[in-house]
């Protein structure tokens, strides 16, 4: 009886060794791919939006997140949520990384860990084409402004004396409110406004004033997550091997300015 046990035990050990060996032998093909759960708010073209019919996530951030995942050997899964839900989702562990044109701010740094910056942005004012009154931030005093909830644009609008600020969940609603004349102006990230001016906003709206508040976008992680270092390493590799430039040029029509 004892002997049998020993044989069975040996057999089991052998089978395990074979199984492990197989896994190790063809490492890349059979390795369980770890999943990178990415959260975004996809009304922020050209950084993130959903393709009309397929609803597939597209944009600069989405391509970059997928390229980072590939570098790290991780499978990227993208989740759609409200912009103000992204940081809570990191902290509850529902997502591992935010890719949402999120500006690196001191306030947010208290709650999350950011990657190295991957894009330089800033804010702008958008009004309808027929508006000749608003030309700068000063002109917004006492006016009605639409913003996306939880954004740096919302923070900026909150500081305009006497302004009545309305917050919306999506930027689609923000622009609609402007075009329906529910508000006088919008404060939003400049590259997103610029892109919108080449699309739906073309004949309706215009950008006015100087670019405000140089901001850098970073990917965000749960505070002190080790993933940030891995992403920084992968991002540096993408910059070095030309993949970052390729993705940048795809969405912005030109290579990034040399640093
Ligand atoms: N960059 C802005 C922010 O971080 C807006 C981001 C967004 O609307 N997706 O608040």
Read out DSSP for 189-251?
EHHHHHHHHTTTTTTTEEEEEEEEEEEEE--EEETT-THHHHHHHHHHHHHHTTHHHHHHHHH
Tell me the mean pLDDT in the region 136-155.
98
pLDDT attached to residue 33: 84
The pLDDT of residue 129 is above 80: yes
List all residues 6 or more positions away from 18 whose beta carbon is below 8 Å from its beta carbon.
none
Tell me the mean pLDDT in the region 231-245.
98
pLDDT attached to residue 9: 53
Return the half-sphere exposure (C-beta side, CA atoms, 13 A cut-off) of residue 3.
0
How far apart are alpha carbons 146 and 153 in whole angstroms?
A: 9
* Number of the ligand 1 atom closest to the C-alpha atom of 188: 5
* Number of the ligand 1 atom closest to the C-alpha atom of 108: 4
Tell me the mean pLDDT in the region 22-41.
71
pLDDT attached to residue 32: 76
From ligand 1's centre to the CA of 31, what distance in Å? Answer: 36
From ligand 1's centre to the CA of 134, what distance in Å? Answer: 23
Question: Is there a contact between 218 and 108 (Cβ–Cβ < 8 Å)?
Answer: no
Q: What is the pLDDT of residues 44-67, one digit of tens each?
A: 999 999 999 999 999 999 999 999
From ligand 1's centre to the CA of 56, what distance in Å? Answer: 21
H or E, element range at 20 = helix 2-25
pLDDT attached to residue 22: 46
Q: How confident is the model at residue 242 (pLDDT cuts 50, 70, 90)?
A: very high
The pLDDT of residue 40 is above 50: yes
Pocket of ligand 1 (CB under 6 A): 41, 44, 83, 100-103, 148, 151-152, 189
Give me the chain's average pLDDT, please.
91
| Six-digit token string for 27 | 């490492």
Tell me the mean pLDDT in the region 10-22.
49
Q: How confident is the model at residue 21 (pLDDT cuts 50, 70, 90)?
A: very low
pLDDT attached to residue 31: 60
Q: What is the pLDDT of residues 158-183, one digit of tens each?
A: 999 999 999 999 999 999 999 999 99
The pLDDT of residue 201 is above 80: yes
pLDDT attached to residue 96: 98
List all residues 6 or more positions away from 191 whose beta carbon is below 8 Å from its beta carbon.
46, 47, 119, 121, 252
pLDDT attached to residue 182: 98
The pLDDT of residue 217 is above 70: yes
Tell me the mean pLDDT in the region 2-26.
50
Radius of gyration of the chain (CA): 24
pLDDT attached to residue 160: 98
How far apart are alpha carbons 81 and 68 in whole angstroms?
A: 21
From ligand 1's centre to the CA of 17, what distance in Å? Answer: 50
Q: What is the pLDDT of residues 83-97, one digit of tens each?
A: 999 999 999 999 999
How far apart are alpha carbons 206 and 136 in whole angstroms?
A: 12
From ligand 1's centre to the CA of 154, what distance in Å? Answer: 9
């Amino acid at each position: 009886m004892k002997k049998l046990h020993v044989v069975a035990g040996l057999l089991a050990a052998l089978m395990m060794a074979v199984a492990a060996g197989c896994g190790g032998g063809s490492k890349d093909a059979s390795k369980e791919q770890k999943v990178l759960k990415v959260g975004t708010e996809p009304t922020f073209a050209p950084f993130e939006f959903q393709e009309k019919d397929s609803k597939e996530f597209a944009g600069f951030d989405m391509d970059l997140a997928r390229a980072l995942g590939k570098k790290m050997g991780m499978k990227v899964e993208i989740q759609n949520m409200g912009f103000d839900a992204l940081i809570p989702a990191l902290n509850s562990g529902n997502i591992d990384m935010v890719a949402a044109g999120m500006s690196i701010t001191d306030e947010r740094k208290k709650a999350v860990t950011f990657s190295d910056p991957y894009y330089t942005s800033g804010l702008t004012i958008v009004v309808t084409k027929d508006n000749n009154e608003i030309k700068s931030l000063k002109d917004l005093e006492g006016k009605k402004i639409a913003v996306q909830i939880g954004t740096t644009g919302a923070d900026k609008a909150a500081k305009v004396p006497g302004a009545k600020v309305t917050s919306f969940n999506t930027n689609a609603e923000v622009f609609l409110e402007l075009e329906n004349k529910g508000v006088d102006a919008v404060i939003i990230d400049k590259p997103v406004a610029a892109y919108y001016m080449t699309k739906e906003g073309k004949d309706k709206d215009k950008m006015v004033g100087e670019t405000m508040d140089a901001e850098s976008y970073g990917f965000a992680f749960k505070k002190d997550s080790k993933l940030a270092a891995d992403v920084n390493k992968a991002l540096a590799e993408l910059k070095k091997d030309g993949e970052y430039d390729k993705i940048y040029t795809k969405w912005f029509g030109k290579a990034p300015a040399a640093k």
